């Protein structure tokens, strides 16, 4: 029962992390910068993995999509690949988890389901690591440019998408670790049916052996022995 509960908790945590990681791809604010006037914010610059935009004080946004994938900076291409890999791994990890959980009717025997659940945990951990690496790589580029005194272009700060990605990656890793430890809980589960059958057979053997021991001395003496 404890193993089943831990698998359900791991599944909910991992799926929540995967949803958060998936939501970072279309999120606008990977990096953001504002230009303040004397009274109001005159413009807000922001960018994600797909486009760069500017929003004026009236709320009108002008966006420019990145023209070519081959012409992009290397860190943006790497972040795209890592985040797409994280989403894909999380999808396959959720399928493996459904087959490996004890509360489902598919997946085979308990031993086979435990191995599938452990595989799901490994896949979720890889998904979390990909998301963590992609967000950290993007954040490292932002902070490097922000604190570089020789960088004269527009400087940005960390956007909300990065924090969402870090949170989702952490949940995926935590859920994957719980899934991996569930296989050890299944190996510790005793085989009550098998041990019970063995104990019944041994008790019957002892009972019949004791009965034979008690009855054999009396069967050796008959009426002619006393004549």
Tell me, what's the pLDDT at 28? 86
Domain boundaries, the chain: 4-30+69-188
pTM given for the model:
0.76
Contact indicator for 29, 48 with CB cutoff of 8 Å:
yes
Tell me, what's the pLDDT at 170? 96
Tell me, what's the pLDDT at 211? 47
- Residues 6 or more apart whose CB falls under 8 angstroms from that of 164 comprise 20, 23, 24, 27
Over the stretch 87-132, which tens digit does the pLDDT of each residue have?
999 999 999 999 988 888 876 787 888 889 899 999 999 999 999 9
Residue 216 confidence (pLDDT) above 70 = no
Tell me, what's the pLDDT at 57? 78
Over the stretch 11-55, which tens digit does the pLDDT of each residue have?
999 999 999 999 999 888 999 988 765 556 678 888 999 998 888
Spatial strand order of the sheet with 51-56 comes to 61-65, 51-56, 41-47, 31-36, 157-158
Over the stretch 130-166, which tens digit does the pLDDT of each residue have?
999 999 999 999 999 889 888 888 889 999 999 999 9
Topology given in CATH for the domain delimited by 4-30+69-188: Butyryl-CoA Dehydrogenase, subunit A; domain 3 (1.20.140)
* Sequence-ordered alpha helix ranges (H) in the chain: 2-24, 74-100, 110-146, 160-187, 192-219
């Amino acid at each position: 029962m404890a193993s089943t509960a831990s698998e359900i908790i791991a599944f909910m945590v991992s799926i929540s992390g995967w949803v958060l990681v998936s939501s970072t791809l279309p999120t606008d604010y990977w990096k953001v910068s504002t230009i303040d006037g004397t009274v109001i914010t005159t413009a807000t610059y922001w960018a994600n993995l797909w486009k760069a935009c500017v929003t004026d004080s009236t709320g009108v946004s002008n966006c420019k999509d990145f023209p070519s994938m081959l012409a992009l900076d290397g860190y943006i291409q790497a972040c795209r690949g890592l985040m797409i890999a994280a989403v894909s791994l999380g999808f396959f990890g959720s399928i493996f988890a459904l087959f490996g959980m004890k509360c489902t009717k598919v997946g085979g025997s308990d031993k086979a389901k435990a191995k599938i659940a452990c595989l799901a945990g490994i896949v979720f951990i890889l998904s979390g690591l990909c998301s963590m690496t992609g967000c950290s790589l993007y954040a490292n580029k932002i902070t490097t440019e922000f604190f570089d005194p020789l960088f004269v272009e527009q400087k940005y700060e960390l956007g909300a998408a990065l924090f969402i990605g870090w949170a989702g990656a952490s949940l995926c890793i935590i859920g994957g670790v719980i899934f991996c430890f569930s296989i050890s809980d299944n190996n510790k589960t005793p085989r009550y049916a098998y041990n019970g059958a063995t104990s019944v057979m041994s008790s019957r053997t002892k009972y019949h052996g004791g009965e034979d021991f008690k009855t054999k001395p009396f069967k050796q003496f008959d009426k002619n022995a006393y004549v």
